[in-house]
Structure 1
Amino acid sequence: MEVIIICAFIAVLLPYLAKAPLAIAMNKESKYDNHYPRDQQARLTGFGARALAAHQNSFESLIVFSVALAIVLSTNNTSITVQILAITYLVARVAYCIMYYINLDKLRSLMWLIGLLCPLTMIGLSLSKLA
């Protein structure tokens, strides 16, 4: 269970870590506008726009992973397979952001898919444990 909790902690941090490249892009664009950051973000192009998308998608993905973790923990299904899936999810999500930053769209999409399939598989394994 310890691995699952550590993965949960890291997953919660990922969207905030993904904010760093966005903040750098905003600062380069015209100095970080803390009064109207969303307006400034809407004007970003290139790397800045990709950094914003990676940051936002990190929150979206966290929702799916959080539901999977809740199901895994409530069914007490913290098997080694589930732990490997949780770690794989984290690796895929970090790789997803990197692929977004460097504009490798096909690899980014593959990392997105892996990042989606891991929590879905975690849920499926928990369901099969109940049967």
Structure 2
Amino acid sequence: MSGIQGIVYLILIACLLPYVFSLLARLFGGFKVEDNQDPRAFFAKTTGLAARANAAQQNSFESLPLFIAAVLMAEYMVIPQILIMMMGIAYIVLRILYGICYLANWSSLRSVIWVLSMACPIWLLISIIRLV
């Protein structure tokens, strides 16, 4: 697998992850075909596990721009491929753990994992700043 191919996979996985949480929110919330008329109203009414899955979905979307920008900038600025891949894989693993913590309602651990996941793209950006 080439370096750019690995980066494309990282971005693809990161972009698909929120949809996994969306599907879980629908599953746990008892989503029906008619709920597709107004899915935001459906999600607004969810509670418990379904509401937490929806929150994990929303937060996953919120963190995507920073991750994608950092990875693409790091590639463009010729940051070592191993660092980009390590930070990208760490980000994805931490985001999965973050979602699990959200679903399990482990708020303190979830917050720690959120900080660690956000540190990955920030580290890439700091690496770029140090390079220039």
TM-score (norm 1): 0.90
Give the match for residue 76 of structure 1: 78
Question: Displacement of 1:16 after TM fit?
Answer: 1.3
Of 119-128 and 2-11, the range deviating more from structure 2: 2-11
- RMSD in angstroms over aligned alpha carbons? 1.4
Identity percentage over the alignment? 34
- 1:2-21 aligned within 5 A: 2-21=5-24
Could you list the runs of 5+ residues in structure 2 that have no partner in the other structure? none
Q: Which amino acid aligns with 1:12?
A: C
Give the match for residue 93 of structure 1: 95
Could you list the runs of 5+ residues in structure 1 that have no partner in the other structure? none
Distance 1:126 1:80, change over 3 A: same
TM-score (norm 2): 0.89
Q: Does 1:60 align with 2:62?
A: yes
Q: Which amino acid aligns with 2:27?
A: I
SS of the equivalent of 1:76 reads coil
2:28 to 25, 30, 44: 25
Return the alpha-carbon distance in structure 2 between the equivalents of residues 63 and 122 of structure 1: 14
2:36 to 34, 37, 47: 34
Return the alpha-carbon distance in structure 2 between the equivalents of residues 37 and 7 of structure 1: 28
Give the match for residue 49 of structure 2: 47
SS of the equivalent of 1:18 reads helix
Count of residue pairs brought into register by the alignment = 128
Structure 1 runs of 4+ off > 3 angstroms? Answer: none
